[in-house]
């Protein structure tokens, strides 16, 4: 489990367990959920539509054997059912705002009954933007309900009539692979539900989503030119797991993620000019677009690398990068190339 989330989760559990620190514990829980939800936001806002129905670990054991779209649906359907039917005893977000039609989901259940190709077929039908809006609404409504909880609520238990009520919603499939959920939830008190599904369940599925998208990036980069338009090496990039290269639809470099159209300005500019990369551009020395923006502390490192490619070619550049990583211990090239591109070029040429 991710160390940061695992620590936050442990801290939150310890804080909510005592009356004196319960409020701080709820605060920590909301903080954890915010941090986890940011991952979903990043994934939804940067990955292409087709990524959400792909299953790169089909047949594997574990949460990563699903799709990205299924994972989001499953996390938030479970949360919506549990928080609204069991804790608040009001209306689920799915039905109160007619999200099912917007998402175009053929089911209202948690999806536990689906497996293999059925998950892929289901995922292909979903409108991912609407699904994201639903997920955000569920998270916000749960956060409001969690904020209103008192310490004394934690020991609240659920009786058989709650199980009956849940069955009557038809939100949990009667299939063997899903039906157990009702007894599982009803066997917990509110404190147990905070763990599953409001915190640990998120961590497990969002970590699985990270594995899925890392794998999809790796697959996207297969056979693609490993030199980025701006002059970085994708093969040596510290974002290599997260980003599938600016030469594919899986580009999630920092400037792509902050651009309104999700595209890196250097990649767009090169494509418009019909050139292979910024290293072929006569404006390289003075350009301030994207990675070369003066506010970017990696601007001169990128420029120095593009200058190296222009002088020595891509093949020599990749070999030099291997040597650079043997010689120095760094993750971002600006750590060793500094803020002066001529000086950076000198470091590269001496490696």
Chain residues binding ligand SF4 by CB under 6 A are 228, 232, 234, 237, 239-240, 243, 245-246, 251, 253, 266, 269-270, 273, 278, 281, 283-284, 287, 289-290
CB of 41 to ligand SF4, least distance (A): 19
Nearer to ligand SF4, 216 or 269 (CB): 269
CB of 44 to ligand SF4, least distance (A): 18
CB of 259 to ligand SF4, least distance (A): 13
DSSP 8-class letter at 83: I
Q: Are 292 and 336 in contact (CB under 8 A)?
A: no
CB of 334 to ligand SF4, least distance (A): 13
Instruction: Determine the Cα–Cα distance for residues 123 and 269; give it in Å rounded to an integer.
Output: 34
Joined tokens for residue 345:
């070029």
Q: Are 97 and 137 in contact (CB under 8 A)?
A: yes
Q: Are 17 and 222 in contact (CB under 8 A)?
A: no
Nearer to ligand SF4, 10 or 273 (CB): 273
Q: How many CB atoms lie within 10 A of CB 341?
A: 22
Nearer to ligand SF4, 196 or 224 (CB): 224
Instruction: Determine the Cα–Cα distance for residues 320 and 316; give it in Å rounded to an integer.
Output: 6
Nearer to ligand SF4, 61 or 272 (CB): 272
Q: Where are the alpha helices (DSSP H) in 187-274?
A: 190-195, 200-221, 254-258, 265-273
CB of 239 to ligand SF4, least distance (A): 4
CB of 340 to ligand SF4, least distance (A): 18
Cis (ω within 30 of 0) for the bond into 197? yes
Cβ neighbourhood burial of 159 (10 Å; 0-12, 13-18, 19+): exposed
Q: Are 186 and 158 in contact (CB under 8 A)?
A: yes
Nearer to ligand SF4, 202 or 255 (CB): 255
Nearer to ligand SF4, 123 or 266 (CB): 266
Nearer to ligand SF4, 263 or 289 (CB): 289
CB of 339 to ligand SF4, least distance (A): 18
Q: Are 300 and 310 in contact (CB under 8 A)?
A: no
């Amino acid at each position: 489990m991710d160390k940061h989330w695992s620590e936050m989760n442990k801290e939150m559990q310890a804080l909510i367990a005592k009356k004196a620190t319960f409020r701080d514990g709820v605060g920590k829980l909301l903080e954890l959920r915010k941090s986890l939800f940011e991952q979903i936001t990043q994934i939804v806002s940067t990955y292409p539509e087709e990524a959400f129905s792909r299953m790169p670990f089909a047949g594997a054991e574990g949460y990563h054997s699903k799709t990205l779209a299924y994972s989001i649906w499953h996390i938030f359907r479970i949360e919506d059912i549990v928080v609204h039917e069991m804790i608040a005893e009001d209306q689920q977000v799915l039905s109160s705002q007619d999200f099912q039609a917007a998402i175009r989901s053929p089911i209202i259940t948690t999806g536990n009954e689906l497996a293999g190709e059925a998950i892929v077929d289901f995922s292909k039908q979903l409108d991912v933007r609407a699904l994201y809006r639903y997920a955000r609404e569920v998270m916000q409504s749960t956060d409001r309900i969690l904020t209103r909880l008192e310490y004394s609520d934690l020991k609240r238990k659920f009786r058989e009539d709650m199980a009956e009520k849940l069955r009557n919603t038809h939100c949990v499939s009667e299939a063997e692979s899903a039906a157990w959920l009702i007894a599982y939830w009803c066997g917990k008190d509110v404190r147990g539900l905070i763990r599953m599904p409001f915190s640990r369940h998120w961590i497990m599925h969002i970590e699985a989503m990270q594995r899925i998208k890392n794998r999809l990036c790796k697959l996207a980069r297969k056979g693609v030119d490993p030199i980025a338009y701006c002059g970085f090496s994708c093969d040596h990039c510290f974002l290599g797991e997260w980003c599938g290269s600016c030469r594919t639809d899986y580009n999630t470099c920092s400037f792509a993620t902050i651009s309104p159209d999700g595209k890196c300005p250097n990649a767009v500019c090169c494509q418009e000019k019909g050139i292979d990369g910024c290293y072929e551009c006569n404006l390289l020395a003075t350009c301030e677009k994207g990675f070369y923006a003066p506010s970017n502390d990696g601007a001169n490192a990128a420029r120095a690398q593009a200058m190296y490619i222009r002088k020595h070619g891509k093949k020599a550049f990749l070999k030099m990068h291997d040597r650079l990583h043997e010689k120095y211990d760094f993750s971002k090239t600006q750590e060793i190339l500094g803020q002066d591109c001529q000086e950076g070029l000198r470091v590269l040429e001496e490696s």
